[in-house]
Amino acid sequence: MTAAREIRLERLVGREVRDQTGRAVGRLEEVRARKKGNEWVVTDCHIGTAALVERLAAHILRFGTHGYRASWDQIDWSDPEKLRLACPLEDLRRLTSRAARSRRK
């Protein structure tokens, strides 16, 4: 178990996230949290253009988007100026826009 740490998330949204090799994965677009007792605990971090489209609720856009859903511990928060994944990119769940999902049906 790791010690609790406070991070100013509003300063991190929009920052580029890189994988463990230094390759750009996308920008941190959304952070989701759930209340646990008296505290809020981050459950998911959405990265990439699909996350941006989701955040802006622009489901009417019909272009290909991609992104990833990372849990809190899948991102290395030790240097907020240079966010990196703490796991291989392949370990993240894919995130697609509603428009892309509706085209597959």
Q: Where are the domains of the chain?
A: 9-104
pLDDT range class, residue 87, cuts 50, 70, 90: very high
CATH code linked to domain 9-104: 2.30.30.240
pLDDT range class, residue 41, cuts 50, 70, 90: confident
Pairing of strands 83-85, 75-76: antiparallel
Nearest CA to 51 among 67, 34, 73? Answer: 67
Rounded mean pLDDT of 10-25? 93
Q: Which residues of 23-34 are buried (b: 16+ CB within 10 A; e: fewer)?
A: eebbbbbbbeee
Residue 105 vs residue 52, higher pLDDT:
52
What pLDDT was estimated at residue 4?
A: 60
Rounded mean pLDDT of 35-43? 88
